[in-house]
Structure 1
């Protein structure tokens, strides 16, 4: 058992203490936090740096939970906000209780809480008192919690050191893509809270995964409750990752979700890393939507559920002046789109990855041709090729097991000889370079003899 003095010396040294705490599992940190006040203070930043929240009706309204969040909120650096689509998030049509007719609800977020919620003289939460009463009776408590914007603002404002925001809303049914659910209202409240909170360190956003319509409710350009200052917060984002559910984009199919995605990406002008993946069927490249055939085709018609009075103006090309890394997965695009993307970002782009990506027209040599123009040669092709010695057995049929083992042994022996030959050549090259330095340089020999144990005067 070591003495108290040596333990204090270890514990009061920041580097040793932090290294020790970082190596402990979370279960031990939880137990250690209950020992004393100082242990609680030192373990809290590690325990609460990554917080996972699944939204429920009492997530941001329970007083005890909000009081605890105010104590530990400044330790949170990564927030995972999850609200999956489920039967509890489905919203049925609003019906008049007397006539049975469907009522239209126009939502306008109430950012500031009413001073006297029980007073009839205060502003109603949903526009009119009749609509507020109708929504209170017909919609579940989860909907009212999702539209409680002040509770979102209060919770997010405690996370002053938040650097990474993860949003997950999985499980949407394809038939509900044009229906608004509780998930969409929660995304509106979360976006407003992010824009109004003191989040100076926020630089990473991950949408893993989201439904196609989520970009409309997260967009600071035309979203509900957006203001001219809404974009300022999202311009801080340097790293963006999106996993989106795929959507049919054939000629004649609705393309509203692609236009919303294009408008949403315009709100991140300072991106240095961008990763995008289609979940399910392959989709178009989100960075080349202005040249996508389904968007420029004059025969594209809106779906019955989509808005008929849509703008037919062409989309503006996307360009990120600081983009250094790009990853695209499960997509289909043209070789010309790849080459244009490389040329537009040639001054900043350092690495790009096309995973499970198919070319609709052209070849990869045509798509990557700008690399030859930029570098001035085809040397980059040789650097990207991976060479591996693989033993080849054409047909083991008719061979005895002993003969098969002999073939494999001879192949492995050949590989060993090749490896030894390469090592010998490398050693020979090194000896040629070091020979003049060791034996053919008189000054070096003089210094060697002068510093030797058997040196003479």
Structure 2
């Protein structure tokens, strides 16, 4: 049966067709693609606009998967790359098969694919033939897939319309924070592939969540396999979202993860929206690490382990195009917030502090620059009026019509009682009625209170720390 003229006209109109396809779920789009070739062609851009990849040993090398990606790769706009920490990603110590001594493996990424034919056998993949033989025999196939950088480059070259990239590598144990795993090698290959591929539309990067050591392998400056043009790709990012596992930053403990974070954020000069959250315990503000007390004290004296280590103070981080900033689960000083506002006063439009605790100072001190910038306190908005009440009554399981009727009657009585009286006798006559009304003169109010239809809720206790007030959150300049 041929389709009707109305359906043909509807389907041939680009606006109506795209609006209809954009409202369908993925299951419905899959079924629609099976109807005919025309439906399959029009539904594919909406069905494959967002994909998620769980990295395995054959994800980027199996011929069938690569062929399928070549057919749909140009439709991909958002990619979620998942490689969680697990037993498969754990790498044991590399041991010599003869002596049993532990061997040190120095990784050197190979960006270009190996040559085919006899020349391929003359170049070992991991530096030497002995090291290559040990790695092939002792490390799992997932490791060799993670170090196959040409396969990553080929996959991202196919997805040349990519706009959003999300990297997820959760589940790292605390005991493995200083150990390199398969996840770290995969992040190196992923970063090199992004820098080598023609991803001119990439604007959003989300790291949800990541472990602190991941920034060492994602950092384009002086990283594994980095080139002078590595920062060009990351300068395109306009929206950056990071959820990082918390790490102890007490004085006397290693602070390398904070220094890596400070260096990593310098790779995004064009970011306009920045969101950061500590997963677990509270941590410092990533944009104020140059003034963090634990880092300022560590740069004055050299470490005993590295006496020749550079002790120069870190340069303050400033994102010149930042318009929106969100910080969650952090602890910092009021002076750090005020410095942040002053440094970004020409570009910042909105900032949001969620579950932030002030280590010193008050929120009035932290947000004082807003008053100086605007010239008044209008940015605070409408102030909330508060008063001390011994108990708070709130209706629960009560007929709303009965409550509204009682309230209307009491309001009418109050209006009559508040009217100006012409003689003292009228005032004397109405005063007992008013007292009788307030202390139970109304039979309906007696019944309402006697039947326990109102429940008492204790006042909410205040916390030990002064948190960000909701009446000025978020702030728009």
1:314 lines up with 2:279 in the alignment: no
Residue 229 of structure 2 is matched in structure 1 by 229
Partner of 1:271: 271
* Deviation sequence 1:169-209 (CA, Å, 0-9, x none): 00001111111000000000000000011100000000000
Superposition RMSD on alpha carbons, in Å? Answer: 3.0
- Structure 2 counterpart of 1:52: 52
Q: 1:155 to 1:403 in 2, by over 3 A?
A: closer
| Offset, 1:142 | 0.2
Q: CA deviation at 1:120?
A: 6.3
Distance 2:106 2:397 in 1: 80
| Stretches of 4+ aligned residues off by more than 4 angstroms | 117-121, 298-304, 306-309, 385-388, 390-393, 401-417
Q: CA deviation at 1:321?
A: 1.0
Matches within 5 A, 1:30-45: 30-45=30-45
CA spacing shift, 1:45–1:105, aligned 2, 3 Å: same
Write out per-residue CA displacement over residues 16-68 of structure 1, whole angstroms, 9 at most, x where no aligned residue. 11111112221111011112211111000000000000100000000010011
SS of alignment partner, residue 269 of structure 1: coil
Q: Conserved in 2, the CA contact under 8 Å of 1:216 and 1:222?
A: no
1:230-260 CA-to-partner distances (Å, cap 9, x unmatched) read 0000000000000000000011111000000
Stretches of structure 2 that go unaligned for 5 or more consecutive residues are: 413-477
Between the aligned partners of 1:91 and 1:302, the Cα distance in structure 2 is 33
C-alpha separation in 2, matches of 1:387 and 1:407: 29
Post-superposition offset of 1:4: 3.1
Query: Is residue 2:238 matched to residue 1:238?
Result: yes
CA distance in 2, matches of 1:374, 1:135: 60
For 2:376 and 2:268, locate their aligned partners in 1 and report how far apart those are by CA, in whole Å.
34
Matched, 1:394 2:394: no
What is the CA deviation profile of residues 156-177 of structure 1, one whole-angstrom value per residue up to 9, with x for unaligned ones?
1011110000000000011111
Alpha-carbon distance change, 98 to 69 in structure 1, aligned in 2, over 3 angstroms: same
Could you tell me the TM-score, scaled by structure 2's length? 0.80
Q: CA deviation at 1:98?
A: 0.4
Aligned length in residues: 411
My pick for the range that moved more, 73-82 or 114-123, is 114-123
Distance across 1 between alignment mates of 2:410 and 2:251: 54
- 1:18 matched residue in structure 2: 18
Q: Deviations over 1:304-344 (max 9, x none)?
A: 9x877643221111111111000000000000000000000
- Partner of 1:315, secondary structure, is coil
Residue 88 of structure 1 pairs with residue 88 of structure 2: yes
Change (3 A) 1:416 1:136: farther
Structure-2 residue corresponding to 1:167: 167
Gaps of 5+ in 1: 418-457
CA distance in 1 between counterparts of 2:398 and 2:34 reads 68
Name the CA shift for 1:258/1:118 in 2 (closer, same or farther; >3 Å): farther
Question: Cα offset for 1:8?
Answer: 1.6
- In the TM superposition, what whole-angstrom CA distance separates every residue of 1:354-413 from its partner, at most 9, and x where no partner exists? 100000000000000000000001111234x4679x9967167xxxx9999999769965
State the alpha-carbon separation in 1 of the partners of residues 93 and 325 from structure 2.
Answer: 42
Match of residue 347 from structure 1? 346
